[in-house]
Amino acid sequence: MFTTRRYQHCAACGERVEYRMPSDDNRERAVCTVCQQIHYENPTNVVGTLPLADDGRVLLCRRAIEPRRGFWTLPAGFMELGETVAEGALRETQEEAGARVELQGLLSMINVVRAGQVHLFYRARLLDLDFAPGPESLEVALFHFSEIPWDDLAFKTVRATLEHQRAGRPELLITDV
């Protein structure tokens, strides 16, 4: 069974945890050996956008950080507490590409089970062309779909989302990579 087993110590009291099945549960959890607190580990959401200019070009960012430094991606990152999926997607688009967009509907929900992640991309319309790379991007550029650097994309979820948009299918893409 997939597990990250991130806990060696209790986040509440600092004593050792052990991985065991609580009596009312059906899988192993990090349980504190002293205060008995249970620490759950659950999948996280990565949220982003596929930003389109009015001429049909798509905005991509070349990554300045690992993993996949130097490869092209859609603006996306971990959803944070205190925001909605949509707000997180807008924030990441601003942070990574300096771009202002208008969200137009959910485009893809892609399970990345081995990473414990769900990737959620909105289709978005670029409100202007005044974008600029943020600290996590080397460059930001617009590509016609025929010009996308398909062999230099950072992640399978980015490829699947771009291919879904290129195919022009209106329905939400739900898949696993």
How are beta strands 44-52 and 76-78 bridged, if at all? antiparallel
Q: Which residues bind a copy of itself (CB under 8 A)?
A: 1-4, 6-16, 24, 26-27, 39-45, 78-86, 95, 106, 109, 111, 113, 116, 118, 135, 172, 174, 176
How many helices and strands in the chain, by DSSP H and E?
Answer: 2, 11
> What is the rounded CA–CA span in Å between residue 69 and residue 152?
11
CA separation for the pair 63, 119 (Å, rounded): 17
Smallest distance, Å, CB 91 to a copy of itself?
10
Picked from a copy of itself, Zn ion, none, the partner binding residue 150 (CB below 5 to 8 A depending on kind) is none
Q: Does 38 bind Zn ion (CB under 5 A)?
A: no
Cβ atoms of 31 and 21 closer than 8 Å? no
Pick one of 12, 21, 38, 174: the residue that binds Zn ion (CB under 5 A). 12
Q: How far is the CB of 56 from a copy of itself (least distance, A)?
A: 24
